[in-house]
Structure 1
Amino acid sequence: MSDQVTRHTFESPNAFTQAEIGWEAWLAPLPIDELTERHYAGLVDKGRANSPYFRLLVRDPEILGARTRTDNDIFYNEKGGLPRAERELSAASASRTNGCIFCASVHSRFASHYSKRRDDVQRLLDDGTSAVQQDPRWRAVIDASVALTRTPSEFGAEQVRQLREAGLDDLAIADAIHGAAFFNWANRLMLSLGEPTPPAAS
């Protein structure tokens, strides 16, 4: 079976959005009918078999399984730490910094859903990570995420101080770091394997 995938003719989205957009791999994802129990174990959630991104990564199911369990723990583990909205904000900030339109769309949409602050999230997308944010917690999370994303060594005592002054405890600071660090890596992987596609026609 060829590892090549037929390229479709479409104009890839070139602006950050909270709309639900798609993603197309540049290499052939594993066909659904070739998935085995080992692959499904790597997917963790069988519903992810519908995603071309995860069907591409599931060619190495053990690595994907570790990646997905890490992702789930960062964003769904509610035992203390940051509220879900601010975890999503950290991922959206990293994705906006890296220029990953697809990841930014997913995590900005979640940030809006959990915070009910769509306008603040849209300002981050439209005007960038330096856009005015009135909430000092959001400002601190965004700034810390950006510093960690640009060059990890830029993140340090100053960002931790700002997070603490904004009211974050140790677990919350760890969540902000984990959300940004995970998507700093995930953005680069997604950007190297494919491209975003326009929303599906309704």
Structure 2
Amino acid sequence: MAHIELGVDENRFPGINGPMAYRPETGKPLSELAEVLLRGPHTLSAGERELIAAYVSGLNECTFCATSHSAFAAAQLDEGRSLVDQVRANPDTAPVSDKLRALLAIAGAVQQDGRKVTTALVDAARETGATDLEIHDTVLIAAAFCMYNRYVDGLGTLAPDNPNVYAQAAQRIIEQGYLAR
């Protein structure tokens, strides 16, 4: 049960959905940010960007966000759930491109403390072909998900145990995006 009365059925509005419904005037810009970062036109695929969100959410131990964005990434990556699980376990040994591995290292640094993003990490990403836009958006995805994770966990929202809830949400996000809440 959430720490405050959200005025919604938590089973219908689990995780971040409840607080966004409770306060739509703040939920809308948060949804718009997620839409741009995770689904907008980009050189990184939507699955790769969702994977960054899932990775950071896992590092933050946010059950709802890690589980939902893992499902969203898996549904959009050819390698599916196996790749997501490997990245979340250890991105250094996961079968991803050198560029994505370097971007995940940057995301992991942001999750710890933004000041841990070093010139060496950025240079390493550039050496693998990462563009300034990809580096920028990786930092912003990681920073945003630290905020989203703390929002969800700080209000004590429900994280369903049923994997079907997350699979259904993944299909809804793929088909309708983050603005159709």
Same fold judged by TM-score > 0.5? yes
Moved more, 57-66 or 91-100: 57-66
Find the residue that maps to 2:7 and give its secondary structure.
coil
- Which residue is 2:118 aligned to? 156
CA contact 1:91–1:183 (8 Å) conserved in 2: yes
Distance 1:200 1:146 in 2: 26
Match of 2:33 among 45, 64, 70: 70
- Could you tell me which runs of 5 or more consecutive residues in structure 2 were left unpaired when the two chains were aligned: 166-181
Distance 1:174 1:30, change over 3 A: same
CA displacement, residues 99-156 of structure 1 (integer Å, 9 cap, x when unaligned): 112111111222222221232211233x3x4551243123112211110001111012
Distance 1:124 1:69, change over 3 A: same
Deviation at 1:201, TM superposition (A): 8.4
CA RMSD of superposed structures (Å): 2.5
Match of 2:6 among 18, 23, 29: 29
Find the residue that maps to 2:59 and give its secondary structure.
helix
CA displacement, residues 49-88 of structure 1 (integer Å, 9 cap, x when unaligned): x42443333333222222111111111211x332212211
TM-score for the superposition, normalised by structure 1: 0.69
What is the percent sequence identity of the aligned residues? Answer: 25
Find the residue that maps to 1:74 and give its secondary structure.
helix
Deviation at 1:200, TM superposition (A): 7.1
Distance 1:159 1:131, change over 3 A: closer
Deviation at 1:30, TM superposition (A): 2.1
CA displacement, residues 143-188 of structure 1 (integer Å, 9 cap, x when unaligned): 1111000111101212211221222112222221221111011111
Distance 2:61 2:104 in 1: 15
Moved more, 129-138 or 97-106: 129-138
Distance 1:200 1:76 in 2: 22
- Residue 150 of structure 2 corresponds to residue 198 of structure 1: no
Distance 1:115 1:158 in 2: 29
- Residue 133 of structure 2 corresponds to residue 171 of structure 1: yes
CA contact 2:53–2:69 (8 Å) conserved in 1: yes
Q: How many residues align?
A: 160
- Could you tell me which runs of 5 or more consecutive residues in structure 1 were left unpaired when the two chains were aligned: 1-6, 8-24, 33-49
CA contact 1:89–1:141 (8 Å) conserved in 2: no
Distance 1:31 1:75, change over 3 A: same
- Which residue is 1:56 aligned to? 19
TM-score for the superposition, normalised by structure 2: 0.76
Distance 2:13 2:76 in 1: 23
Find the residue that maps to 2:159 and give its secondary structure.
strand
Distance 1:59 1:197, change over 3 A: closer
